[in-house]
């Protein structure tokens, strides 16, 4: 059984706060297929309560985290716009080491975002 796992968190850089209450979905990709394998909502620290892909379910492959940023921005009083510049943000990444901890955070503002492989 693989010992690796996947975590994520979201920081609202415009407000200088963790992004609490943001829905996140995780998909496993294979060819043209997207299969949802997990869904979570960030807690007060902007993190999921546990790994979004825990040990035992972790496997080498291509994945996509989908962050529902527009809903979060609407709730937190970001300047309204229709459609939002950033609404649903997909981050596609590969897992090549089944024993590693992968951490894929999102840094978010209403008009920009970035990510990186964290620790």
Extents of the domains making up the chain: 5-112
Predicted local distance difference test score (pLDDT) of residue 119: 85
How high is the pLDDT of residue 1? Answer: 60
Selection from 108, 22, 98, 106 nearest residue 64 by Cα: 106
Q: Pull the structure tokens for residue 15.
A: 């407000």
5-112 has which fold?
A: Immunoglobulin-like (2.60.40)
Q: Is the pLDDT of residue 2 over 90?
A: no
pTM of the model: 0.95
- Closest listed residue to residue 21, CA positions, set 53, 57, 39, 46: 46
Closest CA to 5 of 26, 34, 30: 26
């Amino acid at each position: 059984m693989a010992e690796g796992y996947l975590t994520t968190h979201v920081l609202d850089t415009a407000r200088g706060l963790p992004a609490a209450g943001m829905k996140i979905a995780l998909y496993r990709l294979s060819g043209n297929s997207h299969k949802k394998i997990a869904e979570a909502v960030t807690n007060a620290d902007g993190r999921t309560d546990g790994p979004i892909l825990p040990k035992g379910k972790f496997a080498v492959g291509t994945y996509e985290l989908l962050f529902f940023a527009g809903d979060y921005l609407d709730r937190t009083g970001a300047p309204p716009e229709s459609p939002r510049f950033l609404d649903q943000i997909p981050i596609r990444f590969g897992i090549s080491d089944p024993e590693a901890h992968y951490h894929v955070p999102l840094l978010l503002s209403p008009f920009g975002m970035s990510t990186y492989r964290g620790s």
